[in-house]
């Protein structure tokens, strides 16, 4: 079962409500899942909440220009990912680089792997496309098609990023020879 | 190690305390009502883009493995294995001819020169510490000598490419795992003299991949993510040509040889540099092998920034190699781009295919621990 309930679509009557009402209803329905997604991506909760607030704010501002309000949820997911990417870029490579790789000994590595934070640090060091693909596919259990739609890439690109990301993670976590 | 399971469990633990009750309320600004009653009527015409071009070229059904010509393709390939070393394998039978054990650490990247007598192995001796071994291989595949290039690199090597004569090796570094340094370096194999290049910070998140030398031994091609379109759409790879003889250390000063193209691997330039061969991998949702193809790309006349059409030269499908269905597979082309090697760790199988579509399974290969391969 997926960690997040992203397969649910938004309320069907969004169009008939005012933007405030529609966006608020979307927030009530999906903010929890989106904050969890952002938390996995950026690693700290205040930032994750800010990212999601910004995304809803952006949706609210663009509401009148949305071609299809039924796709508001897809817009939100993409927006959250983009905002997470911006946050990580802002933090900069230096900060990420300052994190030490997993300990060398087998025992300490195993201990480290048991800590969720250690594991989630690894994808945060991947290129953003691989990181987002792995989180959407493996953590959220989204299909290739859904992932492709959110990331605005082809299914082939999703496959390629999945394969490359998985290989890189295996290497970071110490499996590949 | 089940990467999917690890990620899922870790994410569940990390987000356990995020509950609906603990979320802050949504703060929307007061909305300005449009003055006047002129609302903007936007009639959005959604164009349905029919995308599917499934070119199923059925060239006869289920051809079985065929014998290859006696002199087709390189005689040996190299592959890393679980013990940390690299093996030299007969590329007809799969039999291991030589086992090269690292002096310390493990081999994390390898490259074979087109002359097929020289190979380079990146020995990862610590988390951010790599030395490069140069190996000379005899005609029978045995190792004639091994030397370590002078100096050490304070980072990890992701990929390597050797010039045809084996006098220089290009290293692509992985600085995303806690190490720091250049993104690409070229090292002289005899003196150890080196020169480095970096991506500008704005592109540091788009790693360099698939390095390969032009026939002149001076131009280094490499792939990197193409910039997103103004709409934020992914445009795949672009292949750049770095003149290693000119000054400057910015990788993006390298000219674009191929514009946005699909994600391919193992780029191999033609001798005149006017076309490229590469491997196109196709997998199912679960990562299972569907097919691997040798494809050819010819940059449009008048500049390389345009999109090049992709022509399939030969394809090996899962049906053809059944019952093997590699889940964790790796592919590589030889230096000519005419021969493809597909290695599957879990299926204990290695297949090879020529650009005329003939393929075979290497009969004596039964290892489950092969990692990177170079041919």
CB contact under 8 A, B10 and A117: yes
- Per the CB < 8 A criterion, the answer to whether A96 and A87 are in contact is no
- Per-residue pLDDT at B305: 61
User: Between chain A and chain B, how many beta carbons pairs sit less than 8 Å apart?
Assistant: 166
Instruction: State the Cα–Cα distance between residues A40 and B7, nearest whole angstrom.
Output: 10
Structure tokens at B226: 């193409």
Cα A158 to Cα A143: distance, rounded to the nearest angstrom: 10
Q: What is the pLDDT of residue B320?
A: 82
User: What are the tens digits of pLDDT across the range B66-88?
Assistant: 443 444 788 899 998 888 899 99
Write down the ipTM of this complex: 0.72
The secondary structure element, H or E, covering residue A166 is helix A155-172
B45 has pLDDT over 70: no
Contacts of B233 in chain A (CB under 8 A): 152-153
Average pLDDT over residues B112-131: 89
Question: How much is the pLDDT for B112?
Answer: 93
Name B85's Cβ contacts closer than 8 Å, sequence gap at least 6.
Answer: B99, B100, B101, B102, B106, B107
d(CA B333, CA B374): 8
Distance from CA of B166 to the nearest CA of A (A): 25
Sequence ranges of the domains in chain A: 8-98, 99-177
Q: Which residues of A touch B40 (CB under 8 A)?
A: 64
**What's the topology of domain A8-98?**
Rna Polymerase Sigma Factor; Chain: A (1.10.1740)
| Confidence class for position B304, pLDDT limits 50, 70, 90 | low
Quick one: average pLDDT of B7-35? 78
DSSP A103: P
Q: B72-374 architecture in CATH?
A: 6 Propeller (2.120)
* DSSP symbols for A114-152: TSHHHHHHHHHTS-HHHHHHHIIIIIS---HHHHHHHHT
- Mean pLDDT across chain B, nearest whole number? 81
Using CA atoms, how far apart are residues B338 and B334, in angstroms rounded to an integer? 7
Interface test with B, best of A24, A72, A116, A147 (most B CBs within 10 A): A116
Position A100 confidence tier, pLDDT thresholds 50, 70, 90: very low
For range B317-331, the mean pLDDT: 78
Q: Using CA atoms, how far apart are residues B289 and A70, in angstroms rounded to an integer?
A: 36
- pLDDT band of residue B99 (cuts 50, 70, 90) is very high
Range name among A87-96, B8-17, B27-36, B237-246 with the lowest pLDDT average:
A87-96
* CA separation for the pair A49, A35 (Å, rounded): 6
Q: Give B69→chain A minimum CA distance, Å.
A: 33
CB contact under 8 A, B234 and A154: yes
| Of A92-106, B160-174, B207-221, B319-333, the least confident | A92-106
Q: In this structure, are strands B106-112 and B96-100 parallel, antiparallel, or unpaired?
A: unpaired
Whether A11 and A26 have beta carbons less than 8 Å apart is answered as: yes
pLDDT number for residue B7: 84
Check CB contact of B31 with chain A, cutoff 8 Å.
yes
Choose which CATH entry (2.60.120.260, 1.10.10.10, 2.60.40.10, 1.10.510.10) describes domain A99-177: 1.10.10.10
CA distance A166 to chain B (A): 7
Q: How confident is the model at residue B289 (pLDDT cuts 50, 70, 90)?
A: confident
Residues of B in Cβ contact (< 8 Å) with A31 = 23, 26
pLDDT(B3) > 60: yes
**A82 close to B (CB below 8 A):** yes
Q: Does B22 touch chain A (CB under 8 A)?
A: no
Cβ atoms of A114 and A43 closer than 8 Å? no
**Tens of pLDDT, residues B175-228:** 766 678 888 999 999 999 999 999 887 666 667 888 999 999 999 999 888 776
Cis status, amide bond into B281, omega within 30 of 0:
no
């Amino acid at each position: 079962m997926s960690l997040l309930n992203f397969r649910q679509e938004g309320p069907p009557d969004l169009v008939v409500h005012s933007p405030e009402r529609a966006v608020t209803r979307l927030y009530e329905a999906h903010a929890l899942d989106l904050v969890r997604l952002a938390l996995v991506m950026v690693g700290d909760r205040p930032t994750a909440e800010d990212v999601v607030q910004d995304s809803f704010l952006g949706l609210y501002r663009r509401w009148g220009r949305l071609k299809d309000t039924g796709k508001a949820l897809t817009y939100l997911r993409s927006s959250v990912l983009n905002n997470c990417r911006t946050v990580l870029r802002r933090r900069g490579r230096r900060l990420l680089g300052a994190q030490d790789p997993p300990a060398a000994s087998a025992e300490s590595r195993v201990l480290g792997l048991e800590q969720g934070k250690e594991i989630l640090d690894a994808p945060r060091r991947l290129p953003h496309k691989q990181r987002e693909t792995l989180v959407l596919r493996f953590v959220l259990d989204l299909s290739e098609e859904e992932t492709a739609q959110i990331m605005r890439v082809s299914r082939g690109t999703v496959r390629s990023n999945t394969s490359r990301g998985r290989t890189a993670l295996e290497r970071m976590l110490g499996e590949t020879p | 190690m089940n990467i999917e399971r690890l990620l899922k469990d870790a994410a569940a633990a990390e987000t356990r305390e995020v509950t609906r009750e603990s979320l802050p309320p949504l703060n929307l600004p007061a909305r300005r009502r449009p003055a006047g009653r002129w609302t903007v009527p936007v009639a959005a015409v959604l164009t349905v883009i029919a995308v599917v071009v499934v070119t199923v070229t059925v060239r006869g059904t289920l051809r079985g493995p065929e014998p290859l010509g006696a002199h087709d393709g390189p005689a040996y390939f190299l592959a890393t294995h679980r013990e940390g070393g690299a093996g030299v394998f007969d590329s007809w039978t799969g039999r291991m001819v030589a086992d090269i054990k690292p002096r310390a650490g493990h081999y994390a990247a390898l490259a074979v020169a087109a002359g097929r007598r020289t190979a380079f192995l990146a020995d990862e001796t610590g988390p951010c510490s790599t030395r490069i071994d140069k190996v000379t291989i005899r005609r029978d595949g045995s190792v004639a000598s091994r030397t370590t290039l002078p100096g050490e690199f304070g980072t990890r090597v992701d990929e390597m490419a050797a010039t045809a004569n084996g006098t220089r090796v290009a290293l692509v570094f992985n600085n995303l795992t806690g190490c720091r340094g250049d993104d690409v370096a070229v090292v002289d194999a005899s003196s150890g003299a080196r020169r480095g290049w970096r991506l500008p910070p704005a592109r540091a998140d788009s790693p360099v991949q698939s390095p390969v030398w032009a026939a002149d031994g001076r131009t280094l091609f490499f792939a990197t993510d193409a910039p997103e379109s103004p709409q934020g759409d992914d445009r795949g790879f672009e292949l750049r040509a770095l003149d290693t003889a000119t000054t400057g250390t910015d990788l993006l000063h390298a000219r674009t040889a191929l514009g946005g193209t699909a994600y391919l691997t193992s780029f191999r330039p033609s001798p005149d540099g006017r076309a490229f061969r590469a491997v196109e991998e196709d997998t199912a949702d679960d990562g299972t092998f569907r097919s691997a193809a040798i494809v050819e790309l010819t940059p449009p006349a008048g500049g390389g920034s345009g999109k090049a059409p992709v022509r399939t030269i030969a394809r090996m499908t899962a049906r053809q190699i059944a019952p093997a269905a590699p889940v964790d597979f790796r592919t590589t082309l030889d230096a000519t781009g005419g021969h493809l090697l597909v290695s599957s760790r879990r299926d204990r199988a290695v297949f090879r295919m020529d650009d005329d579509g003939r393929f075979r399974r290497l009969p004596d290969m039964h290892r489950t621990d092969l990692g990177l391969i170079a041919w």
